[in-house]
């Protein structure tokens, strides 16, 4: 069946969840004050903090400054977590835990805001501006263009992204809202999102079944980062730099588990909307991950792989992405993809998904960080493996930068483990012992146990309801099996009461800001800077609009350490509400 040409009209009938008009009486009686605190916090976010039901990431209490991943206009919302969909999930979860209609009304308002932010193609961008495209373009041309380390915001693409779970989290929220009461407004947005995910999947060749970072392709949206004419005298000569494989947005993307997130969304739709035809794109995606595992002895994966042959290199070869993501294998991506293979075996019962797992683990065992690398770079503390590993030589590759802003500076890579980036770690925590233990456990399953997994798998055609809660713990593929146990954390009365009391009289929690930003001052100057003050910092000079920790600024005047200002954080709200939801759900 050609899923790209047939309608995905949502014909399934959603069954509303029973509503208790006054809320869950057991919750109300358990510890007085906690349900009311949940309502107060949600009402403040919905009625006073949001913009038309949508959110960014953090706000000064007077809303004079707001931030997503960068400084944001008041009319903007962030789609990537912990932005608008994350708040929406928490509101719907609170409704499920308490039965209080006010939470559902707020969740619906957030869903309608996301429907407005949905692009005509069906997906979502990282960010949306309700003031219109002209306003968004101005933001990209000013704040975005001067964010040195945020290259995805230096260009206005006009298309949708799968990166950072933005489209996936928004689409999952639309699915939940539609299933709740069959509201056609959410059904229409969900239909567009489902069409988009299927249409964006690459067809044909070794990359068949994979997804690009952005879709539809927009030629020329990404240009190589400029290489300054004047270079610092200390710059090594044996370096690589730039976007080594051009416009990276069309490559097969594993970064941020794009493929895994899309599979999860399709499985949710397949098992709740009676759409058996979705098994085909799901299986194609699984097979794509297997095909793109590299040959031994470097049997890993890269952040991205070429979707088509380019520059004399074949389709499927590891590809570079942003200028600080070199053409190399990635240890954390390999770990994630091995874990995905475990899920694929559970879903299908096909032991072929486990066949090359030992090769991947053996490769990870071959390239740990050394004692010298740990001793000479404190930024690698607690990490077990380098983030990137050179093809063929199997040496660790590290990313550095010089200059002070997006115009006079640039990123480069070499094998020197010192003075690495602070905003993109040169090392990762890879647990090969845990991977090996899971592999052995799955290989030891009896045919009867494998048959039981297959029978409960959403790929088997069995109707499986969605997990009831998404906020306390993001659902994994294993949570989509029929009869999967609830994984809600245990929250004591005392812990829940402390969170409720923490609202005080403000109806919101305050938390020290993770980051602040320099205001936009105009285009960054190209004046050369030969120092090293910004090499391992989150921000460059005062023209750099990248977020940074005010307690740990560059050691370069006029920067000086400052206290972190108190902000209203969506991340804090989601975490705290997740605990209160877990508490209420257990009552």
For 28-76, the pLDDT digits (tens) are: 556 779 999 999 999 999 999 999 999 999 999 999 999 999 999 999 9
**Predicted confidence (pLDDT) at residue 19 exceeds the cutoff of 60:** no
Could you tell me whether strands 427-428 and 240-241 are parallel, antiparallel, or unpaired per DSSP bridges? unpaired
pLDDT classification of 132: cutoffs 50, 70, 90: very high
pLDDT classification of 17: cutoffs 50, 70, 90: very low
pLDDT at 549: 98
Instruction: Give percent above pLDDT 90 in the chain.
Output: 91
Could you tell me whether strands 214-215 and 160-161 are parallel, antiparallel, or unpaired per DSSP bridges? antiparallel
Query: How confident is the prediction for the chain on average, in pLDDT?
Result: 94
Tokens describing residue 509: 């929690």
pLDDT at 224: 80
* 373 CB-near residues (< 8 Å, 6+ apart): 380, 386, 396, 417
pLDDT at 27: 65
pLDDT at 487: 83
pLDDT average, residue stretch 123-136:
98
pLDDT classification of 24: cutoffs 50, 70, 90: low
* Residue 304: closest CA among 244, 224, 360, 383: 244
- Strand, helix or coil at 74? coil
pLDDT classification of 15: cutoffs 50, 70, 90: very low
Contact indicator for 513, 57 with CB cutoff of 8 Å: no
- Between helix 166-181 and helix 184-200 the angle, nearest 10°, is 140
List, for residues 512-559, the tens digit of each pLDDT value.
999 999 999 999 999 999 999 999 999 999 999 999 999 999 999 999
List, for residues 471-519, the tens digit of each pLDDT value.
999 999 999 999 999 889 999 999 999 999 999 889 999 999 999 999 9
Instruction: Give percent above pLDDT 70 in the chain.
Output: 95
pLDDT classification of 13: cutoffs 50, 70, 90: very low
Q: Which pTM value belongs to this model?
A: 0.94
pLDDT at 25: 62
Cα separation, 331 vs 350, in Å, equals: 25
pLDDT classification of 7: cutoffs 50, 70, 90: very low
pLDDT average, residue stretch 109-123:
98
List, for residues 345-395, the tens digit of each pLDDT value.
999 999 999 999 999 999 999 999 999 999 999 999 999 999 999 999 999
Cα separation, 198 vs 270, in Å, equals: 12
List, for residues 163-173, the tens digit of each pLDDT value.
999 999 999 99
pLDDT at 5: 28
* Residue 147: closest CA among 346, 409, 392, 331: 409
Cα separation, 348 vs 469, in Å, equals: 25
**Predicted confidence (pLDDT) at residue 331 exceeds the cutoff of 50:** yes
**Predicted confidence (pLDDT) at residue 181 exceeds the cutoff of 60:** yes
């Amino acid at each position: 069946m050609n899923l790209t040409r047939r309608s995905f009209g949502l014909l399934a009938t959603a069954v509303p969840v029973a509503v208790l008009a006054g809320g869950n009486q057991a919750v109300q009686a358990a510890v007085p004050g906690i349900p009311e605190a949940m309502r107060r916090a949600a009402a403040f976010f919905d009625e006073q903090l949001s913009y038309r039901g949508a959110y960014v990431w953090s706000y000064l209490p007077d809303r004079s400054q707001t931030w997503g991943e960068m400084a944001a206009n008041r009319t903007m919302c962030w789609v990537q977590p912990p932005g608008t969909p994350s708040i929406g999930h928490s509101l719907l979860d609170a409704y499920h835990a308490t039965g209080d209609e006010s939470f559902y009304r707020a969740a619906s308002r957030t869903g309608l805001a996301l429907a407005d932010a949905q692009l005509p193609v069906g997906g979502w961008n990282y960010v949306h501006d309700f003031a219109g495209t002209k306003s968004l373009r101005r933001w990209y041309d000013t704040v975005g263009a001067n964010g040195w380390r945020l290259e995805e915001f230096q260009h206005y693409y006009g298309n949708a992204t799968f990166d950072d779970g933005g489209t996936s989290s928004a689409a999952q929220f639309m699915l939940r809202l539609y299933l709740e009461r069959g509201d056609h407004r959410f059904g229409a947005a969900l239909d567009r999102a489902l069409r988009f995910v299927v249409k964006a999947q690459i067809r044909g060749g070794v990359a068949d079944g994979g997804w690009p970072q952005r879709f539809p392709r927009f030629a020329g949206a990404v240009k190589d980062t400029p290489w300054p004419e004047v270079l610092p005298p200390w710059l090594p000569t044996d370096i690589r730099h730039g976007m080594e494989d051009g416009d990276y947005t069309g490559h097969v993307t594993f970064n941020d588990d794009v493929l895994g997130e899309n599979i999860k969304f399709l499985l949710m739709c397949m098992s709740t909307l009676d759409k058996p035809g979705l098994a085909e794109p799901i299986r194609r995606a699984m097979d794509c991950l297997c095909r793109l595992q590299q040959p031994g002895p470097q049997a890993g994966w890269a952040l991205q792989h070429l979707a088509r042959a380019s520059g004399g290199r074949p389709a499927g070869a590891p590809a570079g992405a942003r200028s600080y993501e070199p053409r190399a294998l990635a240890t954390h991506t390999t770990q994630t993809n091995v874990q995905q293979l475990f899920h694929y075996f559970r879903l299908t019962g096909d032991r072929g998904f486990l066949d090359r797992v030992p090769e991947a683990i053996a490769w990870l065992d071959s390239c740990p960080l050394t004692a010298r690398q740990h001793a000479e770079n404190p930024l690698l503390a607690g990490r077990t493996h380098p983030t990137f590993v050179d093809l063929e030589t199997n040496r660790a590759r590290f990313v550095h930068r010089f200059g002070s802003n997006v115009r006079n500076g640039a990123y480069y890579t070499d094998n020197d483990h010192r003075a690495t980036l602070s905003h993109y770690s040169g090392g990762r925590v890879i647990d090969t012992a845990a991977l090996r233990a899971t592999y052995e456990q799955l290989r030891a399953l009896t045919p009867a146990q494998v048959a039981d997994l297959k029978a409960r798998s959403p790929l088997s055609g069995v109707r499986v309801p969605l997990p009831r809660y998404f906020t306390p713990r993001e659902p994994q593929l294993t949570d989509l099996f029929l009869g999967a146990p609830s994984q809600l954390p245990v929250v004591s009365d005392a812990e829940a009461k402390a969170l409720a009391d923490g609202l005080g009289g403000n109806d919101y929690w305050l938390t020290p800001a993770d980051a602040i930003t320099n205001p936009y001052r105009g285009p960054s100057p190209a004046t050369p800077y030969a120092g090293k003050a910004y090499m391992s910092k989150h921000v460059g000079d005062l023209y750099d609009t990248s977020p940074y920790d005010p307690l740990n600024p560059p050691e370069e005047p006029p920067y000086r350490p400052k206290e972190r200002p108190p902000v209203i954080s969506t991340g804090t709200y989601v975490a705290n509400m997740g605990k209160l939801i877990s508490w209420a759900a257990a009552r």
